[in-house]
Structure 1
């Protein structure tokens, strides 16, 4: 069976082929009555647009590529939803991929987006992808970094000041009376983790008598948090930290499960706990979790806006949008430690 063509649609709608093309590509210049007539003809014929042919003609698709670090982290889920909503309002769709903190998967998605000729790429990278993004930009595919800043500022970015966030978390623990503080996070080559650790170290160094232990884990997951917590439970009480800053809320929830539910360590009386991201589960956990809040929806919306502006005007200067984090105090750190 031969698929219906633009010519068939034009004949049924009693318009020119050029009018059908305008309805498909520039509907704003066609009268609403004509758009409706052409749309009805397409539906009646079950016409499917030849997207590959359109891409060859205009040089790009009506899709944006998005690569996040984790598909299981609600922070990235909310960011992706906001990006999809913002893109849809501008007439674009979003093809989302999860690198799972793996460089080879990240590279695979970038290859796919190049093959699909996406209009642009939003990426929260695992490693240094700037050279690859620079080559893609030369081929007409701009990119905006999400939740990350490029070292040479050659690409626009929308992120949160993670150094300030790490300092905010540890300062809060210190001000609540904690002196033996552990930071749980990893892999440390992830920029967000290293920045949060840097801020934690700065805060600890500014307060005499405070020690800072770094516990490196293999991923930002509940399971890794639980493993770190189980190792802390095995220590003698005097060797345990009295305050923990987890590099994200998923780690913090895993720690909470191991410390409080399995190890019967009182939170926050024995160990105070602070997470990062302020995901929905933070306030709903068994012990409501103190966390550093990031404006995930605002990050996604702003990143799409900048990307589309740069797609229309490649000569725009890169912009770095840096939002400030916010401390949200809940029961996991609210009370003071015992004297």
Structure 2
């Protein structure tokens, strides 16, 4: 025979308190529940003896809050996004919320379909990372009163909040580092064409070259994919005379930069930085390992996550809160993958 589920009424009866006292004891905000320490202790003791667990679904029906946030990623191969997901989940849990994580491809059609599925779970908000949203979907979220915060992406939509690094400024830092080192034939290994991060970083890189009277020597796409990155790197350097190949490479993120460095050294037998200097973007942990010593542009990931959660909860708690774009400064981290300029 199936055992009957223990209810908050059972706990209240055993503890000798009201049912509302039980509900307030198990509130996600115990410090604001108005329950004395003595009553709280009675309720918790009774709940433990009876094997009671609060019903989150029932609570959501009363509060009209699911305490669930949808989190969208297109891929986690890049350690930057794996770390971001970890920090976002910890941050949500610390506030009494839980993440409903969905993975999807980069195509807008698949993204729209997945988000429509997420909205059926009555999420209180949406955090997106490494994906772009269609205007139609943004309007749907706005009409439903569901705040959306984009992490490490931007879109031309005033109804969306976004948190990014200054990607244009970071691209300029990368170009400056290579030009200051005396590099002359600078190439870009870009990511997926639809990503605002790749677009803005390349724009900043080109802008700095133009400001210094230099031109981009060559360009290819790695599409945030390791095999595409390897093929593009081979096309840059394989079987080409030194004067006809790049002597510097700006890779749009570290994930691709590490793969490019492996191809340059291990497959093609070239030296870094003597034959080619390399700069990445993100500052993932692998970049700092002695094997790579990758000079890169650092994204302040902890501050980006904190800002994303702040914007999200401001809008969850206050429907009148306005969307905001937070842009944090980029920082060049110099290691050993860029050659030192020769003394005159």
Partner of 2:20: 18
Partner of 1:249: 254
Mean Cα displacement is larger for which, 305-314 or 36-45? 36-45
Give how far 1:19 is off: 1.4
Distance 1:333 1:95 in 2: 41
Mean Cα displacement is larger for which, 42-51 or 244-253? 42-51
Partner of 2:81: 76
Distance 1:259 1:289 in 2: 13
Shift in CA distance, 335/100, structure 1 to aligned 2, threshold 3 Å: farther
1:101 aligns with 2:106: yes
Structure 1 length as normaliser, TM-score?
Answer: 0.91
Distance 2:17 2:98 in 1: 28
Give how far 1:33 is off: 2.7
The structure 2 residue matched to 1:295, chosen from 269, 285, 300, is 300
The answer as to whether partners of 2:132 and 2:155 remain within 8 angstroms in 1 is: no
Mean Cα displacement is larger for which, 122-131 or 274-283? 122-131
The structure 1 residue matched to 2:61, chosen from 56, 62, 72, is 56
The structure 1 residue matched to 2:38, chosen from 33, 47, 66, is 33
Distance 1:254 1:139 in 2: 43
RMSD over aligned Cα atoms: 2.3
Partner of 1:234: 238
Distance 1:91 1:209 in 2: 52
Distance 1:100 1:321 in 2: 26
Partner of 2:224: 220
Alignment of 1:164-175 (within 5 A): 164-175=169-180
SS across alignment from 2:6: coil
Where do 5+ consecutive residues of structure 1 fail to align? Answer: none
Mean Cα displacement is larger for which, 246-255 or 79-88? 79-88
Give how far 1:206 is off: 2.0
Partner of 1:334: 339
Distance 1:284 1:337 in 2: 26
Partner of 1:203: 208
Where do 5+ consecutive residues of structure 2 fail to align? Answer: none
Partner of 1:137: 142
Relative contact order, higher structure (CA 8 A, sep 6+): 1
SS across alignment from 1:116: coil
SS across alignment from 2:83: helix
Aligned length: 338
Alignment of 1:127-166 (within 5 A): 127-166=132-171
Partner of 2:268: 263
The answer as to whether partners of 2:72 and 2:131 remain within 8 angstroms in 1 is: no
Mean Cα displacement is larger for which, 236-245 or 76-85? 76-85
Give how far 1:125 is off: 5.2
Mean Cα displacement is larger for which, 4-13 or 285-294? 4-13
The answer as to whether partners of 1:130 and 1:150 remain within 8 angstroms in 2 is: no
Structure 2 length as normaliser, TM-score?
Answer: 0.90
1:122 aligns with 2:124: no
Distance 1:72 1:40 in 2: 45
Shift in CA distance, 285/252, structure 1 to aligned 2, threshold 3 Å: farther
Distance 1:211 1:7 in 2: 72
Give how far 1:285 is off: 5.2
SS across alignment from 2:120: helix
Give how far 1:223 is off: 3.5
Distance 2:151 2:185 in 1: 33
